[in-house]
Structure 1
Amino acid sequence: MKKGLKIALWSLLGLVVLLFVAGGLFLYKVKNGFPVSYETDRPAINFPANKPAVLLFSKTTGFRHGESIDASKPVFQQLAQRNGWFVYETEEGGVFTPEQLKQFKAVVFDNSTGRVLNDEQQQALSEYVEAGGSLVGIHGSGDDSHHWPWYETNLLGAKFSHHPLNPQLQQADVHVNANVDSTLTRRLPASWKHTDEWYVFFTQPRGVRVVSYIDGDKIIPSGNVLFIKDKNFGMGHNHPVAWYRTVGRGKTFYTSMGHNAAVWQDTDFVQLLTNALQWAMASPK
């Protein structure tokens, strides 16, 4: 009997250790991504004449929002057909060269997480934006797994803290700021109901213009899990969920919305991204 009890206790201890190791690996991957190789082969792209080109980049080395990425691609292709754009989809970083980036009017980080570009590719993207290009980020592209100061400063303007866990997905009213570039607000209602995983940042984004926001006092922002008990704060009444800024001669736009496949059925969310791309590809006034 004692021997059986001892075996059961050792088995339970082993299970607890395995759970802690698995949880630790998961949290490490979410925060840092795993080591990754960088693609350097430059793809051959046939750019159609007289069509503004959009680079849709969805490589991940951190947490992968696979359902959202898969649901987004046909939506972007539909937008391309409707607006006369050319959308090039890839998860290969070899496209990030100065010569190829010049062919694109906008680059979209579509839930791209982790470190996805090497030093030379990061430099090519930052120089592309500062010289007049545009970068659009969606949801996971705003988490803290990228470890790239230029990106955090110029796309996000704030450091990611966490997202709610209980419940993870919550409905909120998305309010539209009428006092921003009208290209970004056209065909949007004054507010709409949207269910998403609401990202919480340590501070309000700096140096940006907020396009839309939720009432942060009306969601449950707690991100507490296991022994982590310090992530139950929020961003207050005005909780930004989409914003933009100029960077050198270029532009960036980010929205923290876009967690799962269902968001791509929300016509107002899709309209927001349509506006963002039209704004991003517009020539400076």
Structure 2
Amino acid sequence: MKKILKIVLWSVLVLVVVLGGLIGVFIYKVKYGFPVSYETEAPKIDFPADKPAILLFSKTTGFRHGESIEASKPVITELAKKNNWFVYETEEGGVFNEAQLAKFSTVIFNNSTGEVINDEQKRVLEKYVENGGSLMGIHGAGDDSHHWDWYENNLLGAKFSHHPISPQFQKTDVLLDTQADSSLTAGIPKVWSHSDEWYVFFKNPREKGFNIQFTINGETINPSGNILFVTDKNYGMGKDHPVAWCKPIGKGKTFYTSIGHNEEAWKNEHFIRLIENALKWTQAGKK
């Protein structure tokens, strides 16, 4: 009997250690991404002479929102056909070289997580935006796995804290902000309903001078991110909880939305219109 009890206890201990290890690996991947090699070879791209070019960059080294990434591609392709845009979709960082990047009117970090480009490529992207280019980020592009001060300061304006756990997805109203730019919100109702994984940031990007386009009432969701041994993530952003914002950066522009965890967002006509408007806004005033 004692032998059986000892076997059971050892089995439980092994399971606990293995489970703890797996949880640790998952947390590390979400927060830092796994180390990868960085692509440096410039791709061959045939840029049409008469179309604004959009770089749809979907590389991930952290948590991969694969469902959303795959759902986004046909939607953005259709928007490109409708608006006479050229879209180059890739997960290869070699495109972040000065000569090629300058040919794009807009770069989209499409749920990109982790450190996806090297330091030299980061500097190229920073210079591209400050000299008149545009950078957009969708959902996972706003988590804390990027470890890039310029990116956090100029695209996000705030540091990611957590997202709700129980439940992870919550339906609430998306609200037009009083300072919203009509070119970014054209054709979108003042109030529309959506279910998503609502990101919580430590600070409100409004405090850093970002122009808020849409919010949710943070008091209508359960923002707690507590799970297992995490017990200090039971807070939210309060009533004023931005979910889409933008800002001029140097001669360029940035736009970010925390909406878009899964494919449901790409079925929502109002979210799609927001992405279309944002792409038009990033291109406005460019030759």
TM-score by length of 1: 0.99
Task: Report the counterpart of residue 161 of structure 1 in structure 2.
Answer: 161
Secondary structure at the aligned position of 2:76 is classed as helix
Is the CA contact 2:130–2:250 (under 8 Å) kept in the aligned structure 1?
A: yes
Is the CA contact 1:178–1:185 (under 8 Å) kept in the aligned structure 2?
A: no
Q: Deviations over 1:59-79 (max 9, x none)?
A: 000000000000000000000
| Whole-angstrom distance in 1 between the partners of 2:102 and 2:248 | 18
Is 1:213 aligned to residue 215 of structure 2?
A: yes
Task: Report the counterpart of residue 255 of structure 1 in structure 2.
Answer: 257
Task: Report the counterpart of residue 112 of structure 1 in structure 2.
Answer: 112
For residue 234 of structure 1, the aligned residue among 233, 236, 251 is 236
Task: Report the counterpart of residue 3 of structure 2 in structure 1.
Answer: 3
Write the mapping of 1:1-285 to structure 2, written as runs, cut at 5 A: 1-205=1-205, 206-283=208-285
Instruction: Summarize the Cα distance change of 1:178–1:81 in structure 2 as closer, same or farther, 3 Å threshold.
Output: farther
CA RMSD of aligned residues (A): 1.0
User: How big is the shift at 1:5?
Assistant: 1.2
Is the CA contact 2:101–2:128 (under 8 Å) kept in the aligned structure 1?
A: yes
Deviant stretches of 4+, over 3 Å: none
Letter in 1 for 2:234: N
Q: Deviations over 1:182-238 (max 9, x none)?
A: 210100101100000000000101220000000000100000011111101110111
User: How big is the shift at 1:180?
Assistant: 2.8
Secondary structure at the aligned position of 1:15 is classed as helix
Identity of aligned residues (%): 63
Q: Structure 2: give runs of 5+ residues left out of the alignment.
A: none
| Whole-angstrom distance in 1 between the partners of 2:109 and 2:16 | 37
| Whole-angstrom distance in 1 between the partners of 2:285 and 2:62 | 34
User: How big is the shift at 1:146?
Assistant: 0.1
TM-score by length of 2: 0.98
| Whole-angstrom distance in 2 between the partners of 1:3 and 1:111 | 52
Secondary structure at the aligned position of 1:171 is classed as strand
Q: Deviations over 1:68-93 (max 9, x none)?
A: 00000000000000000000000000
Letter in 2 for 1:122: K
Secondary structure at the aligned position of 1:269 is classed as helix
Q: Structure 1: give runs of 5+ residues left out of the alignment.
A: none
User: How big is the shift at 1:276?
Assistant: 0.4
Is the CA contact 1:245–1:251 (under 8 Å) kept in the aligned structure 2?
A: yes
What is the aligned residue count?
A: 285
| Whole-angstrom distance in 2 between the partners of 1:178 and 1:228 | 36
| Whole-angstrom distance in 1 between the partners of 2:3 and 2:283 | 71
Letter in 1 for 2:4: G
| Whole-angstrom distance in 1 between the partners of 2:99 and 2:265 | 34
User: How big is the shift at 1:284?
Assistant: 6.2
Letter in 2 for 1:213: T
User: How big is the shift at 1:178?
Assistant: 4.8
| Whole-angstrom distance in 1 between the partners of 2:20 and 2:57 | 33
User: How big is the shift at 1:177?
Assistant: 2.1
